[in-house]
Amino acid sequence: MAEAATIGDGRAAGWKKLRRRLAPWAPLLVLLALCIAIALVNGRFVSLRNFARIADAASIPLVLGLGVTFVILMGSIDLSMEGVVAFAAIILCLLVANGANANDFGLLGALAVLVIGAAMGFANGIVHVGLQIPSFMVTLGMWFVGIGIGNAILGGIQVRVNDPLIRALALEQFLGLKFQVWLALGALAVAWVVQEHTRLGRYIFAIGGGEDLARLSGIRTGLVRIATFTMAGVFYALAGIMAAAQQGSAFALIGGGRLFTAITAVVVGGTALWGGQGGVLNTLIGVLIVVVLANGMVLMGVSPYVQQIVQGLLIIAAVALSVDRMRAKLVK
């Protein structure tokens, strides 16, 4: 009896060790398993053209995911992305050559949109830190503000983008990949540098690991928070530009459904919702898992209802697997 228990404990300990060693690799293994499973069902999955399409489909969620990754690493959340994307896409449309007015500012217009994204993120940060309002509430408000201003400007119509430079992001390619994919990879590189090689990146992890400790060691956490939300806003605005390029037009609901995909991707990639764990490369893997799964389910002819259920289960399973129950003291 006692012997059996010891063996059981030994096994459990071994399993724990294995799990700890495998945990960082779990998202990547899931992605590989997913690819193999889909390829076995439908051979068309494995083709350069399909991989290029997956890269295409992943580029906007990746840019959004990168922005929100930093916020989540601090243990906060940012729900404003759909509002920022809509507002950015609409302003972009109205600044570059378009079907509604005579403007033609080209790249200058795109630059202005990035500044607007930064301003919206800055507003998120300053209200969150200055007024001590939970990030959840502030950014929820900014979500509706963005869509509301978009509505006020457009009055519900859809405006076409005619600027060939902007459209080229979605229509032209370089080395077999659309320009938007290269742009997303560029954003990933920038995000990685910020995370690994800047003070801001280190401070973000410090805050996520324990804000009190970070503050005691002299980090001005308020400033870091404002900077992070501002940076996230720039990423969302960039995604807004890409969305307008892809749809060939802007409309108030152009951000629709993107929040769920982005947050799912971040969490599935292994970044912990309570902060301090994960990073931008995890987000890359997470985005690929979500996009490959969606692509694969259509390839396999899975019914649309089942697709939604699978995506919902995926996010719950990912969180369940990634929770370190030794650390979590309280579940709320």
Partner 1 sequence: MHDIQTRIRAGYLDRRRFLSGTAMAGAASLVGFGPKSLRAQAKPTVVNSIRSLSNPYHATWNAGGEAFAKWAGAEYVTLVTEGDSEKGVADIKAIIARTGGDMVLNVDPNESPDARPIVEACEAAGVHVVTQWNKPDDLHPWDHDPYYVSHISFSGVPAGKAMAEALFAKMGGSGGIVALGGILSNTPAIERKKGLDEALAANPDVELLDFQTANWDPNKALELTNAWLTRFGDDIKGIWAANDGMGLAALEALRAEGMAGQVPVSGIDGIQLAVEAILAGEFAGTVAWDPFWQGGMGLSIGYHARTGAFDPSKEPREHREFYGTGIVVTEENAQEFYDNNIKASPELDFTDLWGRVAGQIQYG
Q: How many CA atoms lie within 13 A of 231 on its CB side?
A: 22
CA distance 99 to 102: 8
Residue with tokens 């969490």: 267
Q: Is 80 left (phi over 0), alpha (psi -120 to 50) or beta?
A: alpha
Nearer to partner 1, 98 or 228 (CB): 98
Nearer to partner 1, 246 or 277 (CB): 246
- Minimum distance between the CB of residue 237 and partner 1, rounded to whole angstroms? 17
Nearer to partner 1, 81 or 281 (CB): 81
- Strands (DSSP E) along 176-285, which ranges? 177-178, 249-250
Residues that bind partner 1 (CB under 8 A): 42, 44-45, 47, 49-50, 53, 56-57, 99, 147, 150-151, 154-158, 160, 170-171, 178, 243, 246-249, 251-254, 256-258, 294-295, 298-299, 301, 304
Residues 21, 26, 30: CA angle, nearest 5 degrees = 155
Q: Is the dihedral of CA 156, 158, 159, 161 positive or negative?
A: positive
- Minimum distance between the CB of residue 47 and partner 1, rounded to whole angstroms? 8
Nearer to partner 1, 118 or 252 (CB): 252
- Minimum distance between the CB of residue 180 and partner 1, rounded to whole angstroms? 10
- Minimum distance between the CB of residue 158 and partner 1, rounded to whole angstroms? 5
Residues 6+ apart with CB under 8 A from 15: none
Nearer to partner 1, 246 or 283 (CB): 246
Question: In the structure encoding, which two tokens stand for residue 238, read together?
Answer: 């960039």
Of 272, 304, 261, 232, the closest CA to residue 60 belongs to 261
- Minimum distance between the CB of residue 42 and partner 1, rounded to whole angstroms? 7
Nearer to partner 1, 29 or 306 (CB): 306
- Minimum distance between the CB of residue 195 and partner 1, rounded to whole angstroms? 28
Can you give the C-alpha Rg of the chain in angstroms? 21
Within its chain, how far is the Cα of 307 from the centroid?
20
- Minimum distance between the CB of residue 171 and partner 1, rounded to whole angstroms? 6
Of 149, 137, 134, 38, the closest CA to residue 88 belongs to 149
Nearer to partner 1, 177 or 273 (CB): 177
